[in-house]
Structure 1
Amino acid sequence: MSQATAITHVDNDQVRVTEWRFEAGAATGAHRHDYDYVVVPLGAGLLKAIAAAGETLAELAPGKAYFRKAGVEHDVLNAGNEPFAFVEIELKDRPG
């Protein structure tokens, strides 16, 4: 299985913005989200999330964003036959 490619565009005290690119079959590797986050797909694709509770499949549509709370633990992979990409926006704790 190949590794998804991550490009960090912004990383400051408030947010981290990362572009993730997945070839067919590529995965992020198991990880935990320490912050609430928003994912914005850049194109269509079939995303598989593998977590302790099981596996889920989600159809990605360009621009159709979704939000998740901190604490999610999973591996994410491209379950389709074509590459796809999305932008992940992590909402870091704000001071005060």
Structure 2
Amino acid sequence: MCDASGTATGTVQIENARTRVTEWRFKKRGDNTGWHRHDYDYVVVPLFDGALQIKLPGGEEITAQLQNGVPYFREFGVEHDVLSANDFECAFVEIEFLDKAR
């Protein structure tokens, strides 16, 4: 993930030539990653049942309902800010694919 300056805490757990794995932790409702754009395709694995609010350019907002352990895939390039829509601490693991497909 690029340099985001939100209130959520990102902790890189693995980083090598091919993969970066980051845990994102949101302590309270409204904590956010900060606006950013991914340079690589990625997978998100929620560690909770609940919702995230996704802000997109132009004021568009999406609420994503997530289920613990059920991953989703996104392609690189979309600018966004991710906010917790939950009244409890929550987290997800983000896995970025740093090399091109073979």
TM-score, with normalisation over the residues of structure 2? 0.86
1:94, 1:36 → 2: CA distance? 9
Alignment of 1:1-96 (within 5 A): 3-23=7-27, 24-53=29-58, 54-94=60-100
More displaced stretch, 75-84 vs 10-19: 75-84
Structure 1 residue runs of 5 or longer lacking an equivalent are: none
Structure 2 residue runs of 5 or longer lacking an equivalent are: 1-5
Structure (1/2) with the larger strand percentage: 1
Tell me the CA shift for residue 93 of structure 1.
1.5
**Identity rate of aligned residues, in percent?**
52
Give structure 1 regions of 4+ aligned residues with deviation exceeding 6 angstroms.
none
Letter in 2 for 1:68: R
The number of residue pairs the alignment matches comes to 95
TM-score, with normalisation over the residues of structure 1? 0.91
Contact 1:45 1:80 in 2 (8 A): yes
